[in-house]
Amino acid sequence: MVKKEEEKEMEVTKHNSLIRFEEDIEYKDLAPIFPTLYRLFMELADQYPEDSKEEYTEMIIRQNLKDLQNNRKPTGHNREARYRMIFPLDRDNVEFYLYPRISEEESEIEEITAEISNFLEENDLEHEILWDEMEYLMEEKD
């Protein structure tokens, strides 16, 4: 029988996730759900800014909604946060990465990704999750 400690060591640690939407999804399809998606991500990652929380959140949402409504890749957000959501520049498909900027031991990337995925499914946005597709960004951790 394998001990629990050995089982834990044998588990594969997931470092980041890529959420890739079906080919027929366009950026503008994310606009109706983006405010809730963003707030959910910030809540799950426990990273609302302490000062002027709501003002900052609304500014980021407005900035990204403008791009999404015009069917463009969002400009981005939460650049200095513990977790990041990034829409990559060099992709034809609509997709985004979720990755932590904290130690693997502290990371809850699997749980955050699962909750985001559930939210997308509830909103009829077909997608797939790929793990550890962005090794180069993980090396940037502060």
Domain limits for position 16 = 4-138
Share of the chain above pLDDT 90, in %: 51
* Total tally of structural domains belonging to the chain: 1
pLDDT tier at 46, thresholds 50, 70, 90: confident
Give the residue with greater pLDDT, 79 vs 91: 91
**CA–CA gap between residue 60 and residue 95 (Å, rounded):** 19
pLDDT tier at 94, thresholds 50, 70, 90: very high
Query: pTM for the whole thing?
Result: 0.82
Give the residue with greater pLDDT, 71 vs 78: 71
